[in-house]
Structure 1
Amino acid sequence: MSSSTLGYLARRAAQKERVRILYRRALKNTLDWAVHRHLFYCDADELRAKFDANKHVEDLDTIDRLINEAEASYEKWQHPDPYIVPWAPAGSKFTRNPAPPQGVEIVYNYGKEESD
């Protein structure tokens, strides 16, 4: 293979990865905006149609331009208060029951007294 072919393949691989990451981020952002699943499914279908509309573009510069436009649109429409799974970091239940402070001993004898 020539170096131009390798350069082309490397650039296409990078573009495919950028599109994949952008699609996943946009799909998760769509879920933040849709309150109910039936609304999400309609929005997800529209998003997929937008991505599929440019699936057969072959010009590398055009692909880069489309990706940049899509990333700008994603940044513009990003949800101001995204949904966070409650037990994930920054979620409402994350570290709800934190570890006790240093030096505090917890005895789990469940009411059983030690015999003297």
Structure 2
Amino acid sequence: MSKILPFTEANTQRISSLFRQSLRTAFDHSMKFDIYRQQTISIRKQFDANKHISNPQELEAAIASTKAKLAEWAHPDPYVPPCRPGGTKYQRNIPPPNEHVVPGDW
């Protein structure tokens, strides 16, 4: 994998993706909003603490440690919104097919 220089759009997208994954992981572990809010503030502080990194090697090390922490904290049963694929309401009331379900002349 090629190294991405800091302060570029590609790096911003990588960091934003890691931040969103961190927030989703925190939400999976705490379904109560007040606890989740405190965790989001802590996550934001951790990301802001590394905002100044301009050395590509340090940046890659910080990203690798963040990915490792996300893998460590991955929830075994993450929250899935009900209408999304894998949710409890996904395709609950799908419309009936227009063609015959069983082929043949009835």
TM-score by length of 2: 0.81
For 1:82, which of 78, 83, 94 is the aligned residue? 78
Q: CA deviation at 1:100?
A: 2.2
If asked which structure has higher relative contact order (CA below 8 Å, sep 6+), I would say 2
TM-score by length of 1: 0.75
CA contact (8 A) 1:84 1:91 kept: yes
Provide the aligned C-alpha RMSD in A: 1.8
Offset from partner CA, 1:65-107 (integer Å, 9 cap, x none): 1001101110111111111110111100001123325427xxx
User: 2:61 matched to 1:65?
Assistant: yes
2:44 maps to 48
**Using the alignment, how far apart are the partners of 1:42 and 1:16 within structure 2?**
24
> Between Structure 1 and Structure 2, which shows a larger proportion of helix residues?
1
Unpaired runs of 5+ in structure 2? 102-106
User: 2:8 matched to 1:11?
Assistant: no
Question: Greater CA radius of gyration, 1 or 2?
Answer: 1
